[in-house]
Amino acid sequence: MLGLAGAGALGAAAGGAVAMEVFDGALPAQANDPGAAVPFYGGHQAGIITPAQDRLHFVAFDVITDKKAELVELLQKWTAAAARMTQGRDAGAIGAVNGVPEAAPDDTGEALGLPPSGLTLTIGFGPTLFRTAEGKDRFGIADKRPAALADLPKFAKDALQPEISGGDICVQACAHDPQIAVHAVRNLARIGFGVVSVRWSQLGFGRTSSTSVTQQTARNLFGFKDGTANLKAEEPKLLDEQLWVAGGDGPDWMTGGSYMVTRKIRMLIETWDRTSLAEQEAIIGRNKGEGAALGSAKEFDEPNFDATGSDGAPAIARDAHVRLAHQQFNNGARLLRRGYNFVDGSDGLGRLNAGLFFIAYQRDPRKQFVAIQTRLSRQDALNEYIRHVSSGLFACPPGVSGADDYWGRALFV
Amino acid sequence: MLGLAGAGALGAAAGGAVAMEVFDGALPAQANDPGAAVPFYGGHQAGIITPAQDRLHFVAFDVITDKKAELVELLQKWTAAAARMTQGRDAGAIGAVNGVPEAAPDDTGEALGLPPSGLTLTIGFGPTLFRTAEGKDRFGIADKRPAALADLPKFAKDALQPEISGGDICVQACAHDPQIAVHAVRNLARIGFGVVSVRWSQLGFGRTSSTSVTQQTARNLFGFKDGTANLKAEEPKLLDEQLWVAGGDGPDWMTGGSYMVTRKIRMLIETWDRTSLAEQEAIIGRNKGEGAALGSAKEFDEPNFDATGSDGAPAIARDAHVRLAHQQFNNGARLLRRGYNFVDGSDGLGRLNAGLFFIAYQRDPRKQFVAIQTRLSRQDALNEYIRHVSSGLFACPPGVSGADDYWGRALFV
Ligand code: HEM
Ligand code: HEM
């Protein structure tokens, strides 16, 4: 029934992927024990439909070598370290072997004694890895760039800062303990010394989205429940249609992968805080306490966009965020949102520098994020209270199948 | 036995304070349930000897009014909001009373449904509240400025950024859930609109210090256990001697209070990560795995500064951090450290902007922090790997005794 162009046909193609070893995210372990490990190997990368962990450290790297062999070697080392760290082991020894402490440690030590804490490490490749802004095919992979990894257009009101946007490779580290997420990113950076350089990095202190029906909906810094109408891990059919790249969608190396869009969205919380509750609810299109769509009673009731209030006006305003973002007005397009709240100190003008680090996964950004954000950027009542200051687009390959596989192997062989 | 000048006499004077209602920090509740509330009212402010919570949001405000009455009114409102929020209640209603949603909400909503999570809010008054840099006695309290609140001297190698240093009033918000700490600071800022303005703010994602024997020692971003030789909540005699301001120490309004020093210390972690384990351990003076002083076996063994290795050199080097910081070489001075790890993205030079947000409480900064840091800033082997980029000094008044009292009342009446 969804109007996502080609969803029917692609849904059928995606059916083939069901035969793959599908990563199913260790839901039960996570739900019961925030210290537990999430499996690293699988058909899909962990950290996408894994129930959103509480904390984030996101990093974007520039590749500073021109040698493909060095890059591939790094991806192999990174994969091995990620397989270790996600299972609660160190990236390497904290001292050199045999107690001869003359070498720099292979692990930085700050996670010693801590449990795995649900750590997931999810890698993505940016457009500039395939071809530089100057058009150079750096690693002989330009012809493998998926059409779906088309540079995002400039949206209305974009206020992007290039120095905290883009990147050749990203890693999303999520965990229930921020020390674990920071430790993982820091050790990947350490291992990558001389091959990659940190371009930008972002801490998220609290998850906004839930990605599983086992999770309670969390709140963003506007005080609203966020993630109610999200894609959830328990809807495999929808995920095949909307989230996972299917065979035939583009180059084979992305089959079973997904595309990630990141947007750092500054919230003008001081302005928001002086807005009345009624106004806030009208802007979002849901009420604040329960999180129900206006005109509905319960959080998970389907919004009724045709309902009108006593004054004859639509219960959910024409410029309300949830109306404009809803699949009904976006050709059936949906997203798996996986964002985090952030506070980066203050802005020098007496205000907290706070907002939402928006992360969304999807099968094709052109039909999903770009379509929705084009509409939102023009009409969303929320725009008065937010500024998009950073943007990222990454192709996240399928999962690593085992110890002899590595992140992105199919792209480089 | 301690050489802290006057410690004996002051210790006796401090004995009087024992009769005060001593805040004892809800140790058992905290240890068993990170969601539990910490009592707000008491002889001392909570958040000092309270077992260090996992997360921090620290904020420094500039007072932008000249009217004492407005400042006092704000302190009253803040105290009431703090009493509510620390007990897991909202700062106010999320909608206007009687369901008439025309007013801006009195609570911003992002903590709805979350437990108190050990939230403590600790207030401090900076030197500039008493007299501006231009020498103006803004609120008629200049003669109540304690001598112990003397501006910190400039230390060797200081690289302080004024825009993230100082402040008229600070609030340290600690909690086990960062959303709770952020919510508290944000609502205090909202309530303070027009009277104060956020000067700077800092998130700390992980505690470094333990302040209670019930806590395991955590690790800083150099991978070392931090807080081993800290003052602990269970040593009331030492706390009277080293931590709490006694009657006779200075103006009465500070009796039962404590002085807080903050230092944002950038760690050059990429450089550190390329240093050998032996070198790292020599710099700190403790080993990395166990946290034992060099030459000792166990974390809590007293360091032996006279021990020598097989080469005849001191086991704990002359420029090792723990030697230089130890009371034995600082006239008996100790500190209650309560710092947090931070990562503020990256620095534009390919490195993580990470470090330690150092917080220390003490009875007299002139004899304690200043004495120790003078030595450290000149000789500490650690200096090659760190930069002090922000500094704060605050007088934290005693606790609020009940609903008719407020933060700093004795200073303003
Ligand atoms: C700071 C910026 C944003 C805030 C505060 C925000 C907040 C919210 C809230 C409160 C909801 C309702 C609860 C829910 O279903 O999750 C929602 C829904 C949604 N948002 Fe956002 N959002 C922001 C940015 C974006 C962006 C940039 C996009 C994509 C371009 C987006 C896409 C969606 C979608 C698809 C829904 C579900 C709509 C539905 O199907 O009902 N949001 N958002
Ligand atoms: C990034 C900077 C710093 C790092 C990485 C650091 C690290 C450490 C470590 C690993 C220890 C040993 C374990 C322990 O007893 O806690 C320690 C002890 C200590 N540090 Fe620091 N520290 C730093 C800055 C400071 C500063 C600025 C001061 C005060 C001016 C200070 C005062 C102390 C004291 C008093 C001790 C206990 C020494 C003893 O009695 O054994 N530290 N520090």
The three-point CA angle B223-B227-B230 to 5° equals 160
Q: Do A190 and B273 touch (CB under 8 A)?
A: yes
Instruction: Single out the residue of A79, A397, A57, A75 nearest to residue A257, CA to CA.
Output: A397
Per-residue pLDDT of chain B (413 residues; tens, 9 = 90+): 333 433 333 333 333 332 233 334 434 344 468 899 999 999 999 999 999 999 999 999 999 999 999 999 999 999 999 999 999 998 887 775 445 557 788 899 999 999 999 999 999 999 999 999 899 999 999 999 999 999 999 999 999 999 999 999 999 999 999 999 999 999 999 999 999 999 999 999 999 989 999 999 999 999 999 999 999 999 999 999 999 999 999 999 999 999 999 999 999 999 999 999 999 999 999 999 999 999 999 999 999 999 998 889 999 999 999 999 999 999 999 999 999 999 999 998 999 999 999 999 999 999 999 999 999 999 999 999 999 999 999 999 999 999 999 999 999 98
In angstroms, what is the span from residue B229 Cα to ligand 2's centroid? 9
State how far the alpha carbon of B168 is from the alpha carbons of A119, B124, B357, in Å.
40, 8, 19
Q: Does the CB of A389 have a partner CB in chain B at under 8 Å?
A: no
Q: Which helix (H) or strand (E) holds A378?
A: helix A369-379
Q: Do A270 and B190 touch (CB under 8 A)?
A: yes
Q: Sign of the CA dihedral B396, B401, B406, B410?
A: negative
Task: Work out the minimum CA distance from A161 to partner chain B, whole angstroms.
Answer: 12
CA distance B143 to B2: 32
Per-residue model confidence (pLDDT) at position A96: 56
Q: Which atom of ligand 2 is nearest to the CA of B220?
A: 5
Asked if residue B286 has its Cβ within 6 Å of ligand 2, the reply is yes
Q: Does the CB of A350 have a partner CB in chain B at under 8 Å?
A: yes
| Partners of residue B124 on adjacent β-strands | B170
Q: What is the pLDDT of residues B325-363, one digit of tens each?
A: 999 999 999 999 999 999 999 998 999 999 999 999 999
Q: What is the DSSP string of B254-279?
A: GTT-EEEEEEEEEE-HHHHTTS-HHH
CA distance A41 to B404: 59
Report the percentage of chain A scoring pLDDT > 70. 91
Which protein residue's CA is at the shortest distance from atom 37 of ligand 1?
A: A229
Cβ neighbourhood burial of A20 (10 Å; 0-12, 13-18, 19+): middle
Worst-scoring range by mean pLDDT, A52-61, A106-115, B381-390? A106-115
Q: Which residues of B touch A262 (CB under 8 A)?
A: none
ipTM: 0.90
> Residue holding tokens 């950073």?
A390
- What secondary structure letter does DSSP report for A190? H
The three-point CA angle B296-B298-B300 to 5° equals 100
Tokens matching residue A186 = 């820091």
CB burial of B309-328 (b: ≥16 within 10 Å; e: otherwise) equals eeeeebbbbebbbbbbbbbe
CB atoms within 10 A of CB A380: 23
Q: What is the pLDDT of residues B329-338, one digit of tens each?
A: 999 999 999 9
pLDDT of A2 above 50? no
CA distance B390 to B305: 31
Asked if residue A287 has its Cβ within 6 Å of ligand 1, the reply is no
Q: Give the number of A-B residue pairs with CB atoms closer than 8 Å.
A: 208
Q: Does the CB of A139 have a partner CB in chain B at under 8 Å?
A: no
At B80 the three-state DSSP class reads helix
- What secondary structure letter does DSSP report for A139? T
At A272 the three-state DSSP class reads helix
| Partners of residue B176 on adjacent β-strands | none
Q: Mean per-residue pLDDT for A337-342?
A: 98
CA distance B343 to B128: 29
CA distance A192 to B145: 52
Q: Does the CB of B301 have a partner CB in chain A at under 8 Å?
A: no
Q: What is the DSSP string of A6-62?
A: THHHHHHHHHGGGGS----TTHHHHHH-TTSPPP--SSS-TTSSSPPPSEEEEEEEE
At A63 the three-state DSSP class reads strand
Best of B174, B275, B343 to substitute, by most chain A Cβ atoms within 10 angstroms, is: B343
Instruction: Single out the residue of B99, B101, B104, B52 nearest to residue B91, CA to CA.
Output: B104
Which protein residue's CA is at the shortest distance from atom 35 of ligand 1?
A: A325
Spatial neighbors of B213 by CB under 8 A, at least 6 apart, are B232, B233, B234
Spatial neighbors of B12 by CB under 8 A, at least 6 apart, are none
β-strand B55-63 against A169-175: which pairing, if any?
Answer: unpaired
State how far the alpha carbon of A326 is from the alpha carbons of A288, A320, B64, B135, B328, in Å.
18, 10, 44, 59, 67
